[in-house]
Structure 1
């Protein structure tokens, strides 16, 4: 590898790129990484981390009200968006510094500029410098998709939402996935009037129907306005500063902010990949094999840019597998089965394994167990919101093939339970486990 300036050049310092860079360097490789925005990537800078902090902030709206039922003399409280926004952005700055420090401590050279692949072993920086490397790893992530229609440029995406100058009194959120539903819950709790629009009547496609239907019911009860089977016609700016929105099948209405949460597109445009022979799919994602190698032997890709599973922990595992395989003499591949996922909605939902529909299609014979209950805290708080836990089992063997839930702390509970599903435990193993009382999680071992 002495013929190259670096053993590895990574494009993108997000979760996958940072892990791959750090571990490759620890294995003795000479590593450089190019990041044109900020070290840390979407998750840390403008994704799941700052969004989760907003979720925490939004939860206080209900917690402060509930506290009165528990004896606390809580006055009517005023919410200041700018305080939460600025504190969240300050924590993002802290994390950006830590990620940068991690790369520096491992001897990774950082170039804070755009990089283009100009050969199987060459990248060209925006400054004009050309750099050679034995291997190139593309970890450039993805960006929000914005639909194309008159006035669509007047909306914002999840990239800009963390920088709003003020809390919008009326916000329209376009989309039916986890980003749309999470921000719908956040802004609703903070006091905005939320309208969520979607081209179909299905939210959170891919999640179990019982769980997503429960979220829809609760969200409507909380005051979120859903408008289904509709498309945008146009958005117009008003003199008041607001926007007039025209949708198909609905009367026009006015909002103060339009947030597009309509999917994410792999960041491959302008990277020069196709020009050097890297094969892309119809969405622009890098096609890779099980070892993350593209159609060009020296070029690999991990994370959202491959559009396999757009989750931070998956990108991290892919980056680890790449580094161990290429530089660590410990070849292994990522196991994509039984990946747990969560939606930090209000209330949150989480799931792992097959949904009921998937299990019936694949296994034929299934057994379904459910627990529909009110969390103990909600009872005393006089909150009528109900949790729902659902266990899907192979009807022949009793093996638990899916576990899905919605309710307080569902993601925290599911992480441990996902281990049991991944290990292939049976319903009988859950039944034989003594309940931890009084908890919500005990419902997992009490289902009949």
Structure 2
């Protein structure tokens, strides 16, 4: 393995899933007093969050995960780790990929930077799993101002009083809620008409409502014009004093100002300077590596997996893709992934989760849709614990009754989505779910309620019917 940039383990353990989910939990506990729905519970004073201490604890957790789950595992399997920037070189004298053989040490990686610079590693096959990096949109003058990303914010021990965020995907929402709950005034600006624009429409609308009720300003439908920053006097020593985002929203020019800017507009594949073209590997216009369904690139000796091959950019998907790529490279197993059965989760409060086909996608394909939506406020467990934000929507096949899509917002949605994922993956029908006894009272009953809504009026149903 050749690794550079982030330490061993890549995005998820170092700057992605692990630190963000811990900080979401820190922020949730920090907001416990203000979110308390019970009159019987009182707090003597508002809790406070020591952000620097929270980051220190997060760093300790990341270091532990990195050591136990990556460094120790690599050592266990006697994996050689080369620190540096790897480039593919043509060990067969730049011959076209169509003339390549597939025996012997046909692929070579040269380390061109880092502590192991100059090393060459050759083998039968190579796997490109270089991940992705935060992407910056083409907004006028954005390159002239300082801004945070989901990586650099983890280095900031002294948070600003206010932040304006550009972006409305899961990174923007998770970090927006974290920062708001630790005391930062947050404004989220999204280009499209709703946040989470790639998911079922109801989910974005529901989470926007929850955020606005919490005090996070969410403005959608922005046509960004310019980003600028006033600077203090001092010539070459001038420092950035706040930021202003000029945009057009609802056909009206608007300006949003804050102490700092956070850009969370997605990611781009790390495919530059790897010398892919030198060994006949094709990419798309945005740099995504072209692979077939078995993760083989246009060079038969090189496979690719993870964010560098495009959506869905999820750590769990990357791990599965890498696993399948190796099986296919050395065992010719023909392993592939059914991406329609891959769940997506946003770990905000309330949580957002989705798997399978959306209502709009089904309408486009079949010209009809059989869908049902139940509100979390109708679920007994949600009522009992005063946590009723959200909904569950099911999309079923209009002829077979098989569940083809499930989309939810609400408490425990990240855990509830797995039952729905199994239903989509294995073609279960709504009656299969109805016929399965669910524990009462649980949030997971919301999924069963949504299935029952196809068969009866759930408003006239007792708690534990069927």
TM superposition score normalised by structure 2: 0.84
Q: Gaps spanning 5+ residues in structure 2: where?
A: 92-106, 233-238, 454-466
Map of 2:278 onto structure 1 = 275
**Cα offset for 1:331?**
4.2
Match of 1:395 among 376, 389, 398: 398
CA gap of 1:243–1:232, structure 2 versus 1, over 3 A, is farther
Structure 1 CA distance for aligned equivalents of residues 174 and 243 of structure 2: 24
Map of 1:86 onto structure 2 = 56
Structure 1 CA distance for aligned equivalents of residues 241 and 170 of structure 2: 26
Does the 8 Å CA contact 1:67/1:74 hold for their aligned counterparts? no
Structure 2 CA distance for aligned equivalents of residues 238 and 219 of structure 1: 32
Map of 2:28 onto structure 1 = 59
Q: Of the two structures, which has the highest relative contact order with CA contacts closer than 8 Å and spacing of 6 or more?
A: 1
Deviations 1:50-99 (A, max 9, x none): 11111111111343442864536453222111111111111111122120
CA gap of 1:166–1:232, structure 2 versus 1, over 3 A, is farther
**Cα offset for 1:115?**
1.0
Deviations 1:18-56 (A, max 9, x none): xxxxxxxxxxxxxx4434431001111111221111111
Q: Which moved more, 1:61-70 or 1:212-221?
A: 61-70
Map of 2:78 onto structure 1 = 107
Aligned counterparts, 1:159-308, within 5 A: 159-228=151-220, 229-239=222-232, 242-249=241-248, 250-308=253-311
Deviations 1:268-321 (A, max 9, x none): 111111233211110011111122111112221111111142111111111111
TM superposition score normalised by structure 1: 0.87
Does the 8 Å CA contact 2:126/2:302 hold for their aligned counterparts? yes
Question: Which secondary structure state, in structure 2, belongs to the residue aligned with residue 333 of structure 1?
Answer: coil
Deviations 1:91-123 (A, max 9, x none): 111122120111111011001111111225222
Match of 1:142 among 132, 157, 174: 132
Structure 1 CA distance for aligned equivalents of residues 355 and 245 of structure 2: 38
Question: Which secondary structure state, in structure 2, belongs to the residue aligned with residue 79 of structure 1?
Answer: coil
Q: What CA RMSD, in Å, does the superposition of the two structures yield over aligned residues?
A: 2.2
Structure 2 CA distance for aligned equivalents of residues 349 and 231 of structure 1: 27
> How many residues get paired?
416
Q: Which moved more, 1:313-322 or 1:70-79?
A: 70-79
Q: Gaps spanning 5+ residues in structure 1: where?
A: 1-31
Structure 1 CA distance for aligned equivalents of residues 37 and 367 of structure 2: 47
CA gap of 1:34–1:251, structure 2 versus 1, over 3 A, is closer
Instruction: Indicate yes or no: 2:326 matched with 1:323.
Output: yes
